[in-house]
Amino acid sequence: MRILSLLGCIGFLFVACERSTDPLTDIITQDEQLQALASDPFHQVQVMYTQIDRDSANRPTFTTYQFNIDDERYFYPASTVKLPSVLIAFEKMKELGIPIDARMEIDSAYSRQSAVRVDSSAANLEPSVAHYAKKILLVSDNDAFNRLYEFIGQDAFNEILEQKGYPKTRITHRLAISRTADENARTNPMRFYVDDELVHEQPLKIASSVHSAEEPILMGEGYLSGNEIKEGPFDFTAKNFFPLTEQHQMIKALIFPEEFPEHAFDLRPEDRDEVLKYMSILPRESEINSYQNRENYWDSYVKFLMYGSRPEVIIPSNIRIYNKIGVAYGFTTDNAYIIDTEHNIEFFLSATIHTNPNNIYNDGVYDYETVAFPFLERLGNRIYEFELERNRTFKPNFTELLSD
């Protein structure tokens, strides 16, 4: 009877089927395309899925399922590290008593540091923590992360994450620019102004600890250096790391801070609203003119789960995805809280996949569009279809979440 039941589930008509105790594994293994990739060790697929059930007072309970999760198996987190940069920076601004939109002046005081006085994408042309956060959450801007990294400082970045229960995460470097370990350990001096009054001055900071992995992390068969392919594995030992379990926990704590206080960030309510707003709106819905061109920033530009970063897709207004993606070195990751206000469903889904067909790193040959994005799109839709059919005693009330 169990075999017949599982065969009857093909096509994901779960309502008529015997329920598995592990729906995530069932969803993956019963889909030929998902199974082919997820079962191949080369693709290093990891997935976490959390169901949410509400009681009559709208209080949530969580049931989490894991597929192939291994915190000791390295994957490059790429831009997913930008979410903690926003949360820590906003928390620091609260501690300093400075509004997040205070004007920043960033100086240069060490090798290959760069100063900033103007941000052309800001309506008032002023750099600020708030505006850098918008650029990160809307389109995953690399320079914006680097500026928040410089504001936080390397030691503080790692120490705060460990204190909040993210001990395996390592933040060691800026993104998309080549810097030595010595240069990444030093972060720029800067000043903050409110109405042209200097309210805070921060000197150059030097990290006193080494935050690289304790054991070597060597991957692949070669790597591009300059214009030459070098034989031998690529060294990720000193690269950032953000395991999927900690990514998943962080977004759960952001959406439900009262349920996970030990993992949550101490943000002003209005600052948390700012994070949630810009995590979920689409580039065309923002006030930043340069992001409203759909040829450059389409709806699914940074919404891989369910929509796969396809320029022709228009995401319907009833779907809101609060997420942070990362793409680099052949690793593609998305960490999301997805809601459908029309059908009253919600769930957390985090996944990573490795697509580097020639096993050469840094050469730009990575199969994102043909393998990684379609995998995440299909996975997100299969979980969404399952959620549409899943029974709930009480519907979620999204009023507080969407009130901004």
* DSSP conformational letter for 19: P
Gap between the Cα atoms of 211 and 215, Å rounded:
12
Mean per-residue pLDDT for 238-263?
Answer: 98
The angle, 0 to 180 degrees and rounded to 10, between the axes of the packed helices 82-96 and 244-255 is 50
Gap between the Cα atoms of 98 and 128, Å rounded:
11
14 pLDDT above the threshold of 70: no
Gap between the Cα atoms of 368 and 352, Å rounded:
12
Contact 29, 392 (CB under 8 A): no
> Which residues are paired to 380 by β-bridges?
none
Gap between the Cα atoms of 284 and 279, Å rounded:
13
Q: What is the pLDDT of residue 191?
A: 98
Gap between the Cα atoms of 383 and 349, Å rounded:
8
Look over the chain and give the mean of its residue pLDDT values, rounded to a whole number. 95
pLDDT, tens only, 202-219: 999 999 999 999 999 999
Contact 37, 353 (CB under 8 A): yes
Give residue 26's Cα distance to chain centre. Answer: 25
Task: Kindly report the CATH number that applies to the domain delimited by 20-402.
Answer: 3.40.710.10
For a pLDDT cut of 90, what percent of the chain falls above it?
A: 94
Identify the residue with better confidence: 11 or 288: 288
138 pLDDT above the threshold of 50: yes
Confidence band of 21 (pLDDT split at 50, 70, 90): confident
Report the number of secondary-structure helices (H) and strands (E) in the chain: 12, 15
pLDDT, tens only, 188-198: 999 999 999 99
Residue 305 exposed, middle or buried by CB count within 10 Å (0-12, 13-18, 19+): buried
Q: What is the pLDDT of residue 404?
A: 58
> What residue spans define the domains of the chain?
20-402
4 pLDDT above the threshold of 50: no
11 pLDDT above the threshold of 80: no
Q: What is the pLDDT of residue 403?
A: 79
Specify the pTM: 0.94
Mean per-residue pLDDT for 35-47?
Answer: 98
306 pLDDT above the threshold of 60: yes
Gap between the Cα atoms of 280 and 275, Å rounded:
9
Mean per-residue pLDDT for 185-189?
Answer: 98
DSSP 3-state of 191: strand
